[in-house]
């Protein structure tokens, strides 16, 4: 398949349509179309547009399947994810005190126009952005992050439009998920990562960026101020873990 960097992405909110002819994305037909697209030989504007649509459709289909495969693997084998499933299930009991099983359908994969790799909605659940997930371990960090939000929402009925509530959950999610551990941060920032307070700096940075996306936040300065105000209590609150271990 062609290098994705050579093919323009679809519109920000536009999803590619299924190919008119499914066989056109298989075997020799797909190889021929790819060669024609890469060389431009005999390629009409309509064929070019059709190929780009079909390419992104095939790519998103593969990304989606891989995302769900990763998700299912983590739900079965990841100690972090399995622990969070147990803790969320305990909070998700009914009025008689019965613990309800975790609803895996609340974790969905889809393509996202934004730069983020995941998101949480208190009513809909967790979204994993299949087109921004680099690998299985990136998905584990992302899923663990969103599951902390899930836990917080059930335990404390978070008001997500309240900047202090939002900032507190973002601090906890970035700190407890493993996305700010040394290896992950070094992979993102290389030698710009400082060992002494690297974990805390990463958590502050990522929490501030997330709060900036809140519709009630004016700018980066306000986001940073809110994060600082709630930092001590929220960073030191490692529930449901005994400590930060990732």
Catalytic residue positions?
146
**Which residues, other chains included, contact 62 with Cβ-Cβ below 8 Å and sequence gap of 6+?**
none
- Looking at residue 123, the DSSP 8-state letter turns out to be T
Q: Tally Cβ neighbours within 10 Å of residue 45.
A: 7
CA atoms of 212 and 232, how far apart (whole Å): 20
Q: What separation in angstroms does the CA of 109 have from each of 65, 152, 222?
A: 9, 22, 32
- Looking at residue 135, the DSSP 8-state letter turns out to be S
Q: What separation in angstroms does the CA of 57 have from each of 20, 62, 117, 227?
A: 11, 9, 19, 40
């Amino acid at each position: 398949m062609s290098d994705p960097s050579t093919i323009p992405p679809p519109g920000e909110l536009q999803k590619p349509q299924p190919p008119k002819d499914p066989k056109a994305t298989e075997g020799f037909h797909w190889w021929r179309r790819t060669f024609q697209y890469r060389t431009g030989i005999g390629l009409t504007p309509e064929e070019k547009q059709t190929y780009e649509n079909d390419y992104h459709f095939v790519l998103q289909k593969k990304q989606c399947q891989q995302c769900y495969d990763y998700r299912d693997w983590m739900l079965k084998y990841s100690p972090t994810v399995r622990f969070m499933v147990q803790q969320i299930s305990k909070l998700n009991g009914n009025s008689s005190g019965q613990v309800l099983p975790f609803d895996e359908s609340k974790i969905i994969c889809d393509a996202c126009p934004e730069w983020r790799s995941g998101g949480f909605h208190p009513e809909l659940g967790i979204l994993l952005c299949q087109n921004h997930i680099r690998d299985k371990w990136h998905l584990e960090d992302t899923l663990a992050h969103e599951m902390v939000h899930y836990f917080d929402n059930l335990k404390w009925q978070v008001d997500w439009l309240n900047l202090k509530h939002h900032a507190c959950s973002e601090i906890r999610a970035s700190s407890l998920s493993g996305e700010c551990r040394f290896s992950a941060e070094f992979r993102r920032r290389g030698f710009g990562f400082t060992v002494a307070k690297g974990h805390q700096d990463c958590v502050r940075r990522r929490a501030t960026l997330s709060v900036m996306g809140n519709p009630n936040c004016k700018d980066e300065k306000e986001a940073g101020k809110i994060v600082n105000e709630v930092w001590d209590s929220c960073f030191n609150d490692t529930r449901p873990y005994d400590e930060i271990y990732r």
